[in-house]
Amino acid sequence: MNSKSTYRTVEALSTGMYKEKGSKFIANVVPCYSEEEAKVFLEEWRKQHHQARHVCYAYRFGLYQDVFRANDDGEPNNSAGAPILGQIQSFDLSNVLIGVIRYFGGTKLGVGGLINAYRSAAKEALELATIIEKEVFEWIKLEFNYTDMPSIMSFIKQHNLQTSQQHFELNCELVLALPLAKKENIKQELADFSSLEMSLLGTY
């Protein structure tokens, strides 16, 4: 498998719409990195559109685009999730979720009509999105004692490392992004901090 250091994804939420015979299909595409995160987005969209008949979706994750799923949410098999996933593949994206919310207009569209509608809504959302090339990092979780916090934060600043999800209490936690070319050296230096424990979250 060739080594990769970047992937294509969307920069932020983008929305597209398609209408057919009274039915309205609203497509949301967002950057997303895990099934757990996707569940949060989908639940939020279901609450926002509680009168909608279906919220169908597809996602694809991972540096090598090898984690993916399509869901028809009660529509006929492969009439919704598969065409949505097809658009993610067509735009060569990873770490994205597309959800398409359908408001039923009273007229059945048939399987062919549904495939076209879900594909068209997803395609419009992607065409309106800003697609970016993102550098890949190895993400690790650090857990350490509060007394080590100043020196660890100084180390992170010195190496100009990206952090997220910081919690500084008696026991401190933060998530750290390691550039792939430097990750082994940085982890070796971090291992010198006596109270620090590292766990791997993934590469994305």
Residue written as tokens 């009168």? 51
Distance CA 13, CA 31 (A): 7
pLDDT at 141: 97
10 falls within a domain: yes
Q: With a cut of 60, say whether residue 103 has pLDDT above it.
A: yes
End-of-domain residue from the set 134, 169, 192: 134
Same domain (yes/no): 125, 156 = no
Residue written as tokens 């398409």? 100
Same domain (yes/no): 120, 158 = no
Give strand ranges (E) for 1-66: 6-10, 14-20, 23-31, 54-61
Same domain (yes/no): 26, 117 = yes
Same domain (yes/no): 125, 149 = no
Same domain (yes/no): 83, 169 = no
Same domain (yes/no): 86, 150 = no
Contact between residue 76 and residue 99 where contact means Cβ atoms under 8 Å apart: no
Distance CA 34, CA 94 (A): 11
Q: Which two tokens mark 73?
A: 């949410």
**76 DSSP assignment:** S
Q: Which two tokens mark 83?
A: 């065409």
For the four alpha carbons of 40, 176, 133 and 94, in that order, the dihedral sign comes to: negative
What rounded mean pLDDT belongs to the chain?
A: 94
pLDDT per residue over 129-187, tens digit each? Answer: 999 999 889 999 999 999 999 999 999 999 999 998 889 988 999 999 999 889 999 99
CATH code, domain carrying 187? 3.30.70.240
Q: Range of 197's domain? A: 136-203
pLDDT per residue over 176-202, tens digit each? Answer: 999 988 999 999 999 999 999 999 998
1 falls within a domain: no
pLDDT at 145: 95
CATH code, domain carrying 120? 3.30.230.30
End-of-domain residue from the set 134, 150, 177: 134
- The tally of domains found in the chain comes to 2
Q: Which two tokens mark 110?
A: 């048939």
Same domain (yes/no): 124, 188 = no
Q: With a cut of 50, say whether residue 123 has pLDDT above it.
A: yes
Contact between residue 53 and residue 63 where contact means Cβ atoms under 8 Å apart: no
For the four alpha carbons of 181, 185, 188 and 190, in that order, the dihedral sign comes to: negative
% residues pLDDT > 90 (the chain): 87
Same domain (yes/no): 152, 55 = no
pLDDT per residue over 44-96, tens digit each? Answer: 999 999 999 999 999 999 888 999 999 999 999 999 999 999 999 999 999 99
pLDDT at 132: 97
Distance CA 202, CA 204 (A): 6
Helices (H), 49-202: 81-90, 110-128, 149-158, 183-190
pLDDT at 3: 65
End-of-domain residue from the set 79, 102, 134: 134
Same domain (yes/no): 24, 109 = yes
What is the pLDDT confidence band of residue 1, given thresholds at 50, 70 and 90? very low
Name which of 47, 61, 51, 24 is nearest 136 in CA terms.
Answer: 61
Q: With a cut of 90, say whether residue 120 has pLDDT above it.
A: yes
197 falls within a domain: yes
